[in-house]
Amino acid sequence: MSITLEDMMAGLRLIRGQLLRFSEIPAAMLYQLIEEIERGLAQGYFKFELAESAQRLGQVVRNTEQGELPDKVPREIIRPLQWLLPQLEIWASFRPVNDATQLQDTQACSLTPLLKVTIEDDEILERFLQQHAEQHTAALSLDYFVQQQGWTLANSLLERVVFLSLSLHAGLLAYFLQRTVSDFRHDALTGLLLRHDLESAFSRALAQSLKAGKGLALILLDLDHFKAINDTHGHGGGDAVLQQVAARIRAQLREGDVAMRYGGEEMLLLLPGVSCDQVAGICERIRSAIEQALVQWDGRTIPVTTSIGCVCIESLDEELNSERLIQAADENLYRAKEGGRNQVVCSTVSA
């Protein structure tokens, strides 16, 4: 069992009480003696904690540098730790940092431009910048108490600085790893989910619908005459069409709806928590948005239309699987194509 500084101080307070009761030494001298002992204990404990912290941070840095991380995870995520390690060495000699501006100025810290360049989400970026600023503020406060030889408060702040530094490093690592995983889950061309994520996406959509007490819609879209587009405009033109169509689809969906690239020119959508009488209207808006795309490529305009088959089910149960809805939606998609393309065919099924 490790003994903390608080344990030591509590023991001293107990000893002080006994000495005041039985010692013939004047109380003022005893208080001064106890204060000196307390200061010495806090200072020694501070040096011990600095050494432990430096070893801990150094190990995390080495693990990160030597670890097999994906290429998209920048090694600079160790900067919150690398920045702190030299400061720990200075504090270990019981003196403050000579140039406190490196503690105070987060804008001058090399981590700040890295965050601004690599993190695209403004909300996530702001959270990391605030945590980084707090790291600097806590380090500056720690430096002040080292200068004032306030070792008890310095110990408390050291714990805070180390915690913030490790948390910032871990947060950055998790963010970049999650983004890497997300890249594997999404189609590089359209940004839509890939087909292999279907079952997990369907399970989440089903759970959302059950919780909301509403229906679940599954929609299949197939671009009309896409092979002719590729033959006429080349694969570059076909890619431009797919990107524009994906953007148009996303613009029509709500947060929580799912869009994935199901095949070459085929998309699959999941709409959880909907009323089945609304689904046909949603599909028509998507069809119309795609028809209005008029993709520009190589100085020419590429007209685009899509056939849509959709199915909605309101009487849900936890055993429902995606295959049944996909089959029904595919049959409706076939009817849309047979009916002349560029149209929507929807149906409602029961459990």
Domains and CATH numbers, the chain: 5-185 (no CATH), 193-349 (3.30.70.270)
Residue 274, pLDDT score:
93
Helix, strand and coil percent figures for the chain, each rounded to 5 = 65, 15, 25
Residue 178, pLDDT score:
74
Distance CA 239, CA 160 (A): 51
Task: Give the chain's residues under pLDDT 70.
Answer: 1-37, 70-72, 98-102, 104-105, 180-186, 351
Residue 107, pLDDT score:
72
Distance CA 40, CA 175 (A): 42
Residue 36, pLDDT score:
67
Residue 100, pLDDT score:
61
Residues 78/166, Cβ–Cβ less than 8 Å: no
Residue 70, pLDDT score:
67
Residues 293/268, Cβ–Cβ less than 8 Å: no
Distance CA 58, CA 166 (A): 11
Residue 84, pLDDT score:
86
How far lies 9's CA from each of 13, 42, 43, 226, 252, in Å? 6, 9, 12, 77, 64
Residue 31, pLDDT score:
56
Which amino acid appears at position 134 of this protein? E
Count of positions (residues) in the chain: 351
pLDDT tens digits for 192-250? 888 888 888 899 999 999 999 999 999 999 999 999 998 999 988 999 999 999 999 99
Residue 21, pLDDT score:
58
